[in-house]
Structure 1
């Protein structure tokens, strides 16, 4: 059984060599939509593991979520992510590993990608500066909101341009009529049609890049 500080979903009867995905939640915490994402990845044949970075605490209000994020112990979170990644690699026994992250979690997935932690990453409304982007060499899928209150379009454009300049395979989708957090069905900004379309692309992307060589 997995420990209480993570959620694990595995395909029925998976064996060593399966592919895995580390799933990192946004600043609202490990809400039901993250667990559902793990379950759906498992149904697609991928082992999915989502560490809880808030020790069981969650929020659906932005002010509460911001307080949770600011209250994180960076060293503790870093150690937890390192342990979760090692746990996932042990469970899949040598298969490929991808990252999936939402907002705050997407930022952390991308940071791990700069160190070569993943074979492919899918990220929702998150990016890094151009210098860090140059250190990402695995395929990247980005889902962006049409209106993002946290970062201007130029920030994401610079990130994408830096990835492309470095020869990184990058796909980017900006979803009309959406705002930051549009893929989180547990909060008011959820946009179901766009979220569903984005999710279909995400599952296909991760499956294609991870299972083909698993």
Structure 2
């Protein structure tokens, strides 16, 4: 399918990388890792567009500088962590609200990776989405970063249930951010508040398995996980 890509201004200094198919089935917001709207995130947007979805990845770091992108080495990670700690719930939710305008009157989906997985669940506490997908998002139930203040997203699972947003969570069983106890408590929290959800945990797989630029990349598992997401989008967006 023919796809058009470009950076689009959404509001004031906020822009988003947008991949648009010739005919769109619906809109999917894509929330990036701590490394910014990287090549990996742009590839995910392009993949969604080839499947028929308008995909938009907002630049949440724009207040610190336009289109900041960091490497996966130690230096890049340290810079990315510093900028991630500068994100606030208020600003991220404002950026998501601006990005939702790309869907017009329709309700979008949201897919997030790592930090973006956290953001996807946060988004689902504040507005309806046809689907919220969390790829190995950290700090979602216990907090630990400024973005999780005053409380982490799943502390407000009741709001996710009230908006009726179904949640999909995909993670590796060897993920250093999400241990067995946390994984189980996440499931219990979603169940207890009546959130429709699907959780998939891949044996022997580490954090970051979707990103081919990271040593943790697992091609077979990444393909499996992505097909699950696409199937869920087909069910809800067509």
Count residues in correspondence.
204
Distance 1:149 1:47 in 2: 32
Distance 2:224 2:134 in 1: 14
Residue 216 (structure 2) pairs with residue 189 (structure 1) = yes
1:19-45, Cα deviation, whole Å (9 max, x unpaired): 211100011111112111111112222
1:110 aligned residue: 121
Distance 1:164 1:78 in 2: 25
1:49 aligned residue: 56
Segments of structure 1 that go 5 or more residues without pairing to the other structure are none
1:23·1:51 contact (CA, 8 Å) conserved in 2? yes
2:96·2:123 contact (CA, 8 Å) conserved in 1? no
Q: 1:96 to 1:165 in 2, by over 3 A?
A: same
2:23·2:52 contact (CA, 8 Å) conserved in 1? no
Residue 170 (structure 2) pairs with residue 143 (structure 1) = yes
1:9 aligned residue: 19
Distance 2:79 2:215 in 1: 14
- How far off its partner does 1:100 sit? 0.3
2:144 aligned residue: none
Q: What is the DSSP-based 3-state SS (H/G/I as helix, E as strand, rest coil) of the residue aligned with 1:155?
A: helix
1:101 aligned residue: 112
1:156 aligned residue: 183
2:133·2:167 contact (CA, 8 Å) conserved in 1? yes
- How far off its partner does 1:118 sit? 1.0
Distance 1:158 1:74 in 2: 23
Q: Which has the higher contact order (CA 8 A, sep 6+)?
A: 1
- How far off its partner does 1:170 sit? 1.1
2:228 aligned residue: 201
Q: TM-score, normalised by structure 1?
A: 0.85
2:195 aligned residue: 168
Segments of structure 2 that go 5 or more residues without pairing to the other structure are 1-5, 142-153
- How far off its partner does 1:135 sit? 2.5
Q: TM-score, normalised by structure 2?
A: 0.77
1:84 aligned residue: 99
Q: What is the DSSP-based 3-state SS (H/G/I as helix, E as strand, rest coil) of the residue aligned with 2:188?
A: helix
Distance 2:80 2:215 in 1: 13
